[in-house]
């Protein structure tokens, strides 16, 4: 479970989702917005929910904002509110500030202010969606430096029935196998059949061939992953 105290300022779809997920992981979350309706919607899901104007430094101080381990500024379309809130948090010397930008211009301004952790969630979702449209075999991915990605790939048709070692992923594609996700048929307490995913962390050590629907979690370059899919489809 997570530890620590966190504040989320801005309770739109993104901010409220982060707040609820943090709370579900065991964090102590303070959810803040100037709109009382949004505060009311989340008050039962977090430790504290407060309606206040985050551009008012006295209001921020009244909630002991400087005691937070991190503050996420998730104010959406109100650019003035986003920037002024961020400036106040910097002046108050909040130990960790994470800001959400909705455009490259906002990102540049936040960087100029001195914010080092900036999120562009819409941009990342857009990249992931485009990747999945072009390559339906790719279920999820995370970009890394030097053109590397961690990708979850549905095993291509020609790999079904083969052992992972037979594919020589490292030698042929320069890809490292991190894990294997496999769906199992299980009977629940009520006697109904359910399908649940399980993660095999060291799949090379499992004496089993790849099955239809298996998903390989790979670390490789984008070109290597594309080559692996094309050759084995």
- Cα separation, 144 vs 39, in Å, equals 36
- CB of 150 closer than 8 Å to CB of 144: yes
- Please give the pLDDT value at position 189: 79
- Please give the pLDDT value at position 16: 92
- Cα separation, 112 vs 43, in Å, equals 34
In terms of Cα–Cα distance, which of 192, 200, 203, 118 is closest to 159?
203
- Can you say whether residue 168 is alpha, beta or left, with left for phi > 0 and alpha for psi between -120 and 50 degrees? left
Secondary-structure percent of the chain, ordered helix, strand, coil, rounded to 5:
40, 30, 35
Which parts of the chain fold into alpha helices (H)?
13-24, 36-42, 57-62, 79-91, 104-113, 121-134, 164-167, 169-173, 222-232
- Please give the pLDDT value at position 1: 47
Q: Which two tokens stand for residue 113?
A: 């202010």
Which residues, in sequence order, are CB contacts of 174 under 8 Å at separation 6+?
Answer: 220, 221, 224
Q: Is the pTM of this model over 0.75?
A: no
- Cα separation, 138 vs 68, in Å, equals 38
Which residues, in sequence order, are CB contacts of 67 under 8 Å at separation 6+?
Answer: 5
In terms of Cα–Cα distance, which of 108, 200, 212 is closest to 158?
212
Domains and CATH numbers, the chain: 5-121 (3.40.50.720), 130-232 (3.30.70.1450)
The ranges of the chain with pLDDT < 50 are: 1
**What is the side-by-side order of every strand in the sheet holding 176-187?**
138-143, 148-154, 215-221, 176-187, 193-200
């Amino acid at each position: 479970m997570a530890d620590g105290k966190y504040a989320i300022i801005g309770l739109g779809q993104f901010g409220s989702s982060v707040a609820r997920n943090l709370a579900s992981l065991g964090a102590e979350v303070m959810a803040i917005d100037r709109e009382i309706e949004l505060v009311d919607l989340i008050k039962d899901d977090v430790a504290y929910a407060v309606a206040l104007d985050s551009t008012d430094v006295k209001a921020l101080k009244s909630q002991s904002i400087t005691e937070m381990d991190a503050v996420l500024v998730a104010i959406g379309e109100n650019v003035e509110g986003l920037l002024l809130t961020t400036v106040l948090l910097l002046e108050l010397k909040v130990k960790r500030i994470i800001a959400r930008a909705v455009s490259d211009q906002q990102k540049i301004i936040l960087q100029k202010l001195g914010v080092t952790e900036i999120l562009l969630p819409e941009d990342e979702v857009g990249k992931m969606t485009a990747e999945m449209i072009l390559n339906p075999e790719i279920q999820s991915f995370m970009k890394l430096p030097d053109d590397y990605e961690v990708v979850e790939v549905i095993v291509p048709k020609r790999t079904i029935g083969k052992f992972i070692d037979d594919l020589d992923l490292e030698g042929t594609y320069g890809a490292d196998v991190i894990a294997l996700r496999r769906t199992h048929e299980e009977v629940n307490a009520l006697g109904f059949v359910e399908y649940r995913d399980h993660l095999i962390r060291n799949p090379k050590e499992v004496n089993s061939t790849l099955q239809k629907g298996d998903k390989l979690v790979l670390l490789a370059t984008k070109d290597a992953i594309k080559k692996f899919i094309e050759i084995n489809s």
